[in-house]
Structure 1
Amino acid sequence: MASTVELASSFIEGAPPGELADVVADVQALTSEGENIIPSLLPAFKRYNETQLATVKLPGSSQEVIVSGFNELENNRYFDPESQTSFEVDHTTQTASGAQSYTLESEHADLIKSLLKSFGVHAREHYPNSSYGVYPIENDSAVAIVLVANRYSPNNFWNGRFRAIYQLPVSSSSSTLTGNIHVDVHYYEDGNVALNTTKPINISIPSVSADSIVSRVAAAERDYQEALNRAFVQTSEGVFKGLRRQLPITRQKVEWEKVGGYRLGQDISGGKGR
């Protein structure tokens, strides 16, 4: 049987977009340890933040930067190449502290700077409330490009998150960009409906330049969003339509003492209809 910590960790890692604090409060209320269980859940908080591309505000700044496995340093520190800053993250509160100057050491620093500039234009144009990052990976033989956009509307009982994670080898003039696009939406007014979808991406990049890479990424994201819109329409006209009420709404009270006289009541009770 799974331990309390294991179960609580699964709740933390499965928290819907924008609802981590609510899940934490529920975990504390449901376990006998209460607040004392939080230190045992630190690994789960870290996995959640890195997987979900959590964003934190740099100290003294309104700029939000990404927390991921691609820009991790040591001792819960991470770096942001655009602001040339490293910072410490409290994974339980999703806050940053201890900001320090950071110099990116990479043979492909110029490409990374160009990608940050071009990808920033793309993000601001298509994704309000978004954050992005470009990081050297795999011993500086490739770069990771990540984007996260959050839309929270708790007053209307829904929250959503768009994540895109791409990796691109940069050791040759042409390459193939691979990765995944994730869309997570949670709607919870008078019910509990969640959309969790992942789209694998595999794009040939004829020229490893910032403009070429970003234009092809933008096309892939646009195609996927259009496919999602078509799927929504098909689902609404198909599956959801089949779940709708089959009987008319009469807005009249049912006289239950006479229900046996109704055709439906006779059918249920095995009687014959009139």
Structure 2
Amino acid sequence: MDATERIKAASNFLLQSPPGEINDVLNDIRNIISDDDLLQEGIQPVLRRYNIEQFTVVDVPETNHQSIISEAARVGSSSGEEERFLDPRSKISFVFDHLSLEASDPQPFEADAEQESFRAALETAALNYLKAHFIDGVAAVFSSKEGANRYVIQVVANKYNPTNYWSGRWRSEYVVDLTANEVVGKILINVHYYEQGNVQLNANHAVSFNIPPAIASSVANTASSKIFALIEDEEGKYQVSLNETYQEMGEKTFKGLRRALPLTRQKLDWDKVMGYRLGAELSGNRGPFPTT
């Protein structure tokens, strides 16, 4: 297998990197390939895919906040245009380096005037939602590329605690369709615990609900707040179901996997067992002393 094939095979591991640990995986691949120039060229498409799928956050130039790298944020790149990403909050587009995770070349972006009023109202509600439920989270609200009266809400929250051997990421995405009066979305959770082991949780939960006519017909700020109240209800129910699953796993699933104690109800001292076995073998080989 040549170096290019090794990069293609090894870089696929990047897509499975747990939250906050992609640099560790990248360093391991780097040691295997031993060619930084070839590696950087070969893994760029995989890093781009990872950052977009994982809602990687970036410091937005000329602002004091972060935004989300995602498919909804992607602008340009059609007909040979340079790929850029949008921060709808500041109305700035920028180039994103998928290796260094830095934004550059900020430029003003002209928003769709017809959709901006409701998008901005949803954004305000999203930021209030962050304060209540995701202290370190990042949210972004985009006008959908798929038509008028459609908006994409994205939320991501990361927790990295390598000292205690765990990391986690919450991602949620909702498409608000004011024409169909419905919200369709998903919640993605990835948790990694790796102290003396390697346990991962990857959860994907679909969400859909209708927007009551009374909400849909209200003013933008009121409608946005009530839509987030419905989102809060859906996410709260899912959180409760996760807690119930954890409790059942602790009380039933993991107990069933534990090694049963012997009849003495005490753990075996394997060092002593080896000593008993050695003594038995010596006893079995004992015979009369040779005579001369």
TM-score interval w.r.t. the shorter chain? 0.7 to 0.9
The equivalent residue for 1:268 is none
Give the match for residue 217 of structure 1: 231
Q: Are 2:57 and 1:55 equivalent residues in the alignment? A: yes
Instruction: Quote the offset at 1:169 in angstroms.
Output: 1.5
In 2, Cα distance between the equivalents of 1:106 and 1:232? 46
Q: Encode CA deviations 1:197-220: one digit per residue, 9 max, x unaligned.
A: 000001111133202211100110
Instruction: Work out whether residues 144 and 167 of structure 1, in 8 Å CA contact, stay in contact via their aligned partners in 2.
Output: yes
Equivalent position of 2:15 in the other structure:
13
Post-superposition CA distance 1:180-212 (Å, at most 9, x none): 100100111111100000000011111332022
Residue 3 of structure 1: CA displacement?
A: 3.0
CA distance in 2, matches of 1:98, 1:218: 36
Give the unaligned 5+ runs of structure 2: 77-81, 217-222, 281-292
The C-alpha deviation readout for 1:19-59, integer Å capped at 9, x for no partner, is 11111111111224345212111111111111100001123
* Kept in 2: contact 1:28–1:35 (CA 8 A): no
Which of the pair has more CA radius of gyration? 2
SS at match of 2:8: helix
Match of 1:229 in 2: 243
TM-score (ref. length: structure 2)? 0.83
Q: Which runs of 4+ in 1 moved over 4 A?
A: 250-253
Length, aligned pairs only: 260
- Which range is displaced more, 11-20 or 26-35? 26-35
Amino acid at match of 2:150: A
**Alignment partner, residue 97 of structure 1:** 104
Q: What's the counterpart of residue 161 of structure 2?
A: 153
Other-structure match for 1:198: 204
Q: 1:258 aligns with which of 271, 276, 280?
A: 276
Shift of 1:95: 1.1
Instruction: Report the CA distance between 1:93 and its aligned residue.
Output: 1.5
Higher helix share: 2
1:187 to 174, 189, 193: 193
TM-score by length of 1: 0.88
**Which moved further from structure 2: 203-212 or 108-117?**
203-212
Unaligned runs of 5+ in 1: 263-274
Q: CA deviation at 1:244?
A: 2.2
Partner of 2:75, secondary structure, is coil
Whichever residue aligns with residue 254 of structure 1, its letter is K
How far apart are the structure 2 equivalents of 1:6 and 1:255?
Answer: 49
Distance 1:18 1:59 in 2: 22
Give the percent of matched residue pairs that are identical in Structure 1 and Structure 2: 30
35-44 or 179-188, which moves further after superposition?
A: 35-44
Q: Map 1:108-187; keep pairs closer than 5 Å.
A: 108-137=115-144, 138-171=146-179, 175-187=181-193
Which of residues 241, 245, 252 in structure 1 aligns to 2:259? 245
Partners of 1:252 and 1:44 in 2: CA distance: 47
Counterparts of 2:67 and 2:269 in 1: how far apart (Å)?
53
- Which whole-Å CA distance do the structure 1 matches of 2:92 and 2:34 have between them? 40
Q: Is the contact made by 2:211 and 2:227 (CA closer than 8 Å) also made in structure 1?
A: yes
Which residue of 36, 39, 42 corresponds with 1:37? 39
Q: Which amino acid in the other structure matches residue 155 of structure 1?
A: T
